[in-house]
Amino acid sequence: MSMKKFFAFLVCVWVMSFSVGCKEQGCDPSTTQRCFCPDGTVKEQVCKQDGSGWEPCTCIYYTAWCDNSTGLCWQDPQKDAYIEDDIGVTQPDAIRYCKELVLGGYNDWRLPTIDELRTLIRGNPATESGGECGLVEGSSRSAMNDEACLPIEEFSGPGIGGCYWPTELTGSCDRPDPGAQGHPLEYCSSTVSADDPNWIADVMFDNGGVCFNHIHSYAEVRCVRNAPTTPPACDPLSPPCTPGETRRCLAANLKIGAQVCSDDGSCFGPCDSTGFIPSKNRDVSETCDRIELTIRVPEKLAKPPVQLMAFLYDAKTWSWPPNRPPDGGTDYNQVMNPDIDVDKPFHMTVPGCTYYREKCLSGQYMLYVALMNSATMPPTMQEGDYWWGMQQEPILLGSGKQKIIEMDITLVPYKK
């Protein structure tokens, strides 16, 4: 430490001993300056009208909410909660996001297990921690067929926006899933199915349900760490600052983060780093086998249908009707308000790839087609709907050179 800095430090200590404090004089009202966000972006902030400090930088900030009943502390709100066009992340990216997160000065955040995530459920006793729903850490994919795990009324929970979580939490549970029309993003966990590592356990906080979904499906992420999560005290050698001002810093994840000056101007807070670059998914659908499908209805429709879907399911785990997410086909194979009738068949291409197009399917698959008069999610067949697939031979995909399979089917009326 230079002699000049040493004497400045002694002066500060002497002044503080008289409870006067050693702070800067504030800022000039209505002036602006650059400010730095924990995600690495740069914004602009304005000095308060009374000159006492800077207005908050318009960053995405997170806090930690700790549940005393479980000893778990949760990121609040979830990642990028209020960015409307955010599409979520895949589960592998969610794991990496939590591992890289530095929040409140802590860098030991993680993606929760399904057991931990279920401790947040409120308003649906069957899926709350310890409830009848049998989908837990170590479960196989069939556990999602447990009726106790099924959704209940949408947006009727006790949390903000009707979410099925504690009233203390902020965030949202209604952000649209870009890959499933009419269905909000689920919250993913680190738990994978015991019999298929490509399926991960999720919680649907919009309806209180618990399920498995594809590992490459997009989802919300809310990281967790063990309590306590107490902000570190000010470093006695930290320089005084103007309340609300920010500065760049090197965070514990070795990435550039940001600090905010405390309300009393005594020091800068912890160095947080929340920036994240998701992986780029590779679209291989154009190289996979595909089914050119002609869909017909057996009679004049009583009213225009609401949605038409055609998806592929692994023949080894096929059951009728398939009460789970599909193994193949993409979001293009869910068509809202399809133009179809007895004199107007519908033509659809079903690519032989996984739902998010990252891998071509290989093996035997069954085709399921449904024409529905409602847009309920998960899809629920009702009287007046049509479907196809009860009796069929498996379709062989990925056995060699790319092939095109022509199929012409006629739906049959739904019967319980």
Residue 348's domain is classified under what CATH number? 2.60.40
- What is the total count of domains within the chain? 2
Say how far apart CA 14 and CA 11 lie, in whole Å: 5
**What's the pLDDT at 85?**
85
Show which of 205, 226, 247 is a domain's final residue: 226
Q: Is the domain of 196 the same as that of 313?
A: no
- CA quadruple 241, 245, 247, 252: dihedral sign: positive
Q: Are 152 and 207 in contact (CB under 8 A)?
A: yes
The answer as to whether 306 is a domain residue is yes
The answer as to whether 325 is a domain residue is yes
The answer as to whether 290 is a domain residue is yes
**What's the pLDDT at 236?**
64
Q: Are 309 and 370 in contact (CB under 8 A)?
A: yes
Q: Is the domain of 88 the same as that of 182?
A: yes
Q: What are phi and psi of 190, to 5 degrees?
A: -85, -5
AA letter at 225: R
Q: Is the domain of 195 the same as that of 312?
A: no
What is the residue-level pLDDT of the chain in tens, covering all 416 positions? 444 343 333 333 333 333 334 444 589 998 999 999 999 999 999 999 999 999 999 999 999 999 999 999 999 999 999 988 899 999 999 999 999 999 999 999 999 999 999 999 999 999 999 999 999 999 999 998 899 999 999 999 999 999 999 999 999 999 998 877 778 999 999 999 999 999 999 999 999 999 999 998 999 999 999 998 787 667 666 788 999 999 999 999 999 999 999 999 999 999 999 999 999 888 999 999 999 999 999 999 999 999 999 999 999 989 999 988 899 999 899 999 999 999 999 999 999 999 989 899 999 999 999 999 998 777 789 999 999 999 999 999 999 999 999 999 999 999 88
Show which of 211, 226, 241 is a domain's final residue: 226
Q: Is the domain of 78 the same as that of 210?
A: yes
Q: Is the domain of 172 the same as that of 320?
A: no
Q: Is the domain of 68 the same as that of 209?
A: yes
The answer as to whether 394 is a domain residue is yes
DSSP one-letter string for 319-385: -SS--S--SB--GGGEEES---BTTB-EEEEEESB-TTSSSB--EEEEEEEEEES---SS----TT-
Q: What are phi and psi of 349, to 5 degrees?
A: -100, 125
121 closest CA partner among 32, 203, 49 = 203
Show which of 226, 250, 265 is a domain's final residue: 226
Q: Is the domain of 298 the same as that of 191?
A: no
Among the residues of 69-173, which ranges form H helices?
Answer: 91-100, 114-118
pTM of the model: 0.81
The answer as to whether 26 is a domain residue is no
Strand partners, 335: 308
Q: Is the domain of 222 the same as that of 94?
A: yes
The answer as to whether 40 is a domain residue is no
Say how far apart CA 145 and CA 134 lie, in whole Å: 9
Q: Is the domain of 115 the same as that of 186?
A: yes
Q: Is the domain of 218 the same as that of 305?
A: no
Q: Is the domain of 163 the same as that of 85?
A: yes
Q: Is the domain of 352 the same as that of 217?
A: no
User: By 3-state DSSP, what share of the chain in percent is helix, strand and coil, each rounded to 5?
Assistant: 10, 30, 60
Beta strand ranges found along 150-273 (DSSP E): 186-193, 196-204, 209-214, 219-220, 224-226, 246-250, 256-260
Burial of 7 (0-12, 13-18, 19+ CB in 10 A): exposed
Q: What are phi and psi of 410, to 5 degrees?
A: -120, 120
**What's the pLDDT at 20?**
34
Q: Are 259 and 266 in contact (CB under 8 A)?
A: no
The answer as to whether 269 is a domain residue is no
The answer as to whether 191 is a domain residue is yes
Domain of 219?
A: 63-226
